[in-house]
Amino acid sequence: MKKTLLLSALVSISFAAAQKTVTLPWSGAITGPTSDAGASYAAGVEDYCKYANAQKMLPGITLNCVTRDDQYNNANTQRNFEDFVGNLNAPVFLGYATGGALQLKSVIQETKIPTLTASYHIGIIDAPDNTYTFLPVSSYSENIVALLEYIAKKERGAKVALIVNPSPFGRDPVVDARKAATRLGLKITDVQEVGGNNLDNTALLKRLEAQGAKYIINQNTAGPVANILKDAKRLNLLGKMQFMGAHYTGGEDLTKLAGDAAKDFIWATSYYLYDEANQPGIQLVKKIGAQFKRGADTIRSVHYTSGMLASAIAIEAMKRAGNNPDAAGVYKGLISMNGSRSFDPGFAVGPVTFSAKDHIGAESLRLLQADATGNFKAITGAQRSAMFQLVHPMK
């Protein structure tokens, strides 16, 4: 009996000793600006990471799931990165804001830490210093060019106006959008910047109406877009103008804020939505959300799904790295995700594919339109923008 006890104790000790702890870190805005999206994103990262531990996805490895608030402050993001990589020895970094991601590019290049961000700004993966940075899904620029393609199919020669956030996040897609519009035979009548403090958009909308702009494409967050839609409804412009937007403009956030003014809004995103219950990825989102007792609002948010995708990609790359996942192993794991080895956790409308040259994960996107109840329904299948690859060839 004593021998059995001793043996089982030894086995337990050796098993415990064999378990390695690897940190999976995320830094983003849990509080502060854009925390409406950031808090759900953080929950998604953390819950999928804990789920991976519970499922023993990485044999012999326990994940240390760390989500840390950087309050949308670049200095805090750097501080967190230094702590994760310098002290916690994290082999991968999951980031959030555009500014923080752009500022970290040279450090990421120096430390060779593979990085995935919640910002889908194409500049993050543009040269230089772009070896180790990856976008989990298609970029904002591609979202917008896909919307332009949709417009061009419907109405060649249409007048389009862009409303963008007054920041690098908002401005970056404008150059590609202009190039694409020229090639597609569309006319961009105006590019206006609108931030989060837009309380009355009457002048803006009247100006766009006077220009004859029929299609309004937004590159912004849901808050400012909701205010524009509410003002457009008040001015009876909703039927005359078709409002559209890239990933962070739409979804539950928009319908919650804009109410019935969001009806008919066309949204480009790579993610499946909560209401698509037949999708295995969404079933998993619901299961994990319930397991970790998240509120209904969090589970319904597309940002919860986005966080899970980022976490899932990082964990899959660690899995491919083998028993001892370091930064080099995770990088190799990431760039192996192509062809028959592409990764499809079911959260996005296409599989995640990366290579040494391809740093965009789920490249496919869909266009969805809000119905009278505020739910978004797909109006296209999963697709890539053909024009985007011409106007922004990746180096």
Partner 1 sequence: MPASRFTQTGNYRTRYRQDQTIFATYAEQLSLIVLIGLLLLLPLILPKTMLRDVNMIMIYAVAVIGLNITTGYTGLINIGQAAFMGVGAYATALAATRWNLPFFLAIPVGGLAGALVGTFVGLPSLRLKYLYLAVATLAFQIIFEWGVGHTPLLAQGGAISLPQVQVFGVKATFFNHNFVWYYLILPVLVVMGLLWRNVLRTKHGRSLIAVRDNDRAAAAMGINPGTAKITAFMIGSFYAGIAGGLFAYFQKAVVIEDYGLHISIQLLAMAIVGGLGSLPGSFLGPLFIVALDRIVGGTSNWIGSQNLFPAGVDAATALRPLSFGLAIVLFLMFEPRGLANWWRLSRLYFKKWPYKF
Task: Tell me how far, at minimum, the Cβ of 386 lies from partner 1, in Å.
Answer: 27
Residue span binding partner 1 (CB under 8 A) among the ranges 74-82, 152-160, 261-269, 352-360: 74-82
Q: Nearer Cβ to partner 1, position 82 or 371? A: 82
Task: Tell me how far, at minimum, the Cβ of 14 lies from partner 1, in Å.
Answer: 33
Asked if 266 contacts 242 with a C-beta cutoff of 8 angstroms, the reply is: yes
Among 86, 185, 196, 212, binds partner 1 (CB under 8 A): 86
Among 105, 230, 300, 392, binds partner 1 (CB under 8 A): 105
SS (H, E, C) the chain: CHHHHHHHHHHHHHHHHHCEEEEEEEEECCCCCCHHHHHHHHHHHHHHHHHHHHCCCCCCEEEEEEEEECCCCHHHHHHHHHHHHHHCCCCCEECCCHHHHHHHHHHHHHHCCCEECCCCCHHHCCCCCCCCEEEEECCHHHHHHHHHHHHHHHCCCCEEEEEECCCHHHHCHHHHHHHHHHHHCCEEEEEEECCCCCCCCHHHHHHHHHHCCCEEEEECCHHHHHHHHHHHHHCCCCCCCEEEECHHHCCHHHHHHHHHHHCCCEEEECECCCCCCCCHHHHHHHHHHHHCCCCHHHHHCHHHHHHHHHHHHHHHHHHHHCCCCCHHHHHHHHHCCCHHHCECCCCECCCECCCCCCCEEECCEEEEEECCCCCEEECCCCECCHHHHHHCCCC
- The reply to whether 326 sits near partner 1 by the rule CB under 8 A is no
Asked if 218 contacts 244 with a C-beta cutoff of 8 angstroms, the reply is: yes
Total chain residues near partner 1 (CB under 8 A): 38
- The reply to whether 178 sits near partner 1 by the rule CB under 8 A is no
- 21-60 positions binding partner 1, by CB under 8 A: 30-32, 35, 39
Among 6, 18, 56, 82, binds partner 1 (CB under 8 A): 82
Residue span binding partner 1 (CB under 8 A) among the ranges 50-58, 138-146, 166-174, 341-349: 166-174
Q: Nearer Cβ to partner 1, position 203 or 296? A: 296
Q: Nearer Cβ to partner 1, position 76 or 220? A: 76
As a whole number of angstroms, the distance between CA 113 and CA 32 comes to 27
Q: Nearer Cβ to partner 1, position 102 or 321? A: 102
- The reply to whether 130 sits near partner 1 by the rule CB under 8 A is no
Q: Nearer Cβ to partner 1, position 109 or 342? A: 109
Residue span binding partner 1 (CB under 8 A) among the ranges 81-89, 132-140, 339-347, 348-356: 81-89
Among 129, 155, 190, 276, binds partner 1 (CB under 8 A): 129
Among 10, 11, 54, 75, binds partner 1 (CB under 8 A): 75
Task: Tell me how far, at minimum, the Cβ of 97 lies from partner 1, in Å.
Answer: 8
- 292-311 positions binding partner 1, by CB under 8 A: 295-297
In the complex, the residues that contact partner 1 under the rule CB under 8 A are 30-32, 35, 39, 68-69, 71, 74-76, 78-79, 82-83, 85-87, 99, 102-103, 105-107, 110-111, 123, 128-129, 166-168, 171-172, 193, 295-297
